[in-house]
Every structure is written in structure tokens, then in C-alpha cells.
Amino acid sequence: MATIVTVSKKGWIVIPKEIREKHGIKPGDKVHVIEYAGINIIPAIKEPAKEMRGMFKEGPSLTKGLLEDRRAEREREDRKITRRPRPRQKAS
């Protein structure tokens, strides 16, 4: 959706109501104004941890991968410990 807004003498713009409602922008909220291939206005994340929760839900479980790596490492270490050195033969 593209909308044309007018910039005031003070440099203010009004974000149209439909866009504010769609993105949950309320009075006092902060937005990022980014200059990249034009000007982009992006709502700032209010609660980053909450907003990002579950963002990797569709991909492989990083926790499961880490636990598998730790289990394999522990097994390698256990094998090293249980190996006993061979007794040395006495020189004749």
C-alpha cells in the first residue's frame, strides 16, 4: 500500500489511520525512519524478546542439535576414560 502524505513546516507527517491500525501504531509509539532506496518508516519493536519468540519455529530445533552434540561429545569422553593403557612389556 502506498500513500502520499504532506510534510508540515516542522517536518511532521501524519501516518494514515488505516496504516496505523494495521500495524498497531498508537500515539507515543516510536517508528524507525530509514533512508534506503527512498524513505521507509518501520514500527519499532516494543518488546523485542516477545516479538522474536518463535521466529525459528519452522526450522530445525537448535536446542535439540546442541543437546545431540553434547551427548556425542560426552560419549567420546567416556570412551577415552574407559580405555585402559596397555601394560608395558619388560625389557629383557
Per the structure, how many domains does the chain have? 2
Residue 7 lies in a domain: no
In a domain, 67, yes or no: yes
66 inside domain: yes
Q: What are 70's three cell numbers?
A: 553434547
Does 10 fall in a domain?
no
Quick check: helix, strand or coil at residue 33? strand
- Domain assignment of residue 58, given as a range: 53-82
Distance between CA atoms of 11 and 24, rounded to whole angstroms?
23
How do residues 52-89 score in pLDDT, each as one tens digit? 787 777 878 888 889 999 999 999 988 887 766 667 77
The owner of cell 629383557 is: 92
Distances in whole angstroms, Cα of residue 71 to Cα of each of 33, 64, 67, 68, 76: 47, 10, 6, 5, 9
- For residue 64, tell me if it sits in a domain: yes
pTM > 0.75: yes or no: no
> Is 42 part of any domain?
yes
3-state SS, residue 41:
strand
59 and 44 both lie in a single domain: no
